């Protein structure tokens, strides 16, 4: 039969595991939301290409502004 000290250690270990799991879960949720925002930006860029051509400099500026926030991903 485990004594009080062993029980407390097991409870402490379980709490620590629970905290680690919650952190991993939050991190995964954040990554999923980041990837969905990236894919929505990619689809808007693709739709930009499927539209009739605009003035080249105007189209270049629009694409630059859409891609610029993701420059640190490369």
Do residues 45 and 63 lie in contact, with contact meaning Cβ atoms separated by under 8 Å?
yes
Q: Average pLDDT over the chain, rounded to whole?
A: 76
Six token digits for residue 4: 């009080």
Q: What is the pLDDT of residues 26-44, one digit of tens each?
A: 888 888 777 777 677 667 6
Cα 46 to chain center, whole Å? Answer: 21
Number of domains into which the chain is organized:
1
Of the chain, the end-to-end C-alpha distance in Å amounts to 57
Cα 57 to Cα 51, 52, 54, 60, 61, distances in angstroms = 15, 14, 8, 5, 6
DSSP state of 53: P
pTM of the model: 0.45
pLDDT band at 50 (very low <50, low <70, confident <90, very high): low
Domain that holds residue 40: 4-73
């Amino acid at each position: 039969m485990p004594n009080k000290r062993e029980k407390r250690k097991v409870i402490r270990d379980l709490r620590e595991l629970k905290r680690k799991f919650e952190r991993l879960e939050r991190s995964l949720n954040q990554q999923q939301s980041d990837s969905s925002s990236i894919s929505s930006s990619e689809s808007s860029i693709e739709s930009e290409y499927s539209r009739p051509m605009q003035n080249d400099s105007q189209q270049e500026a629009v694409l630059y502004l859409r891609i610029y926030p993701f420059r640190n991903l490369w």
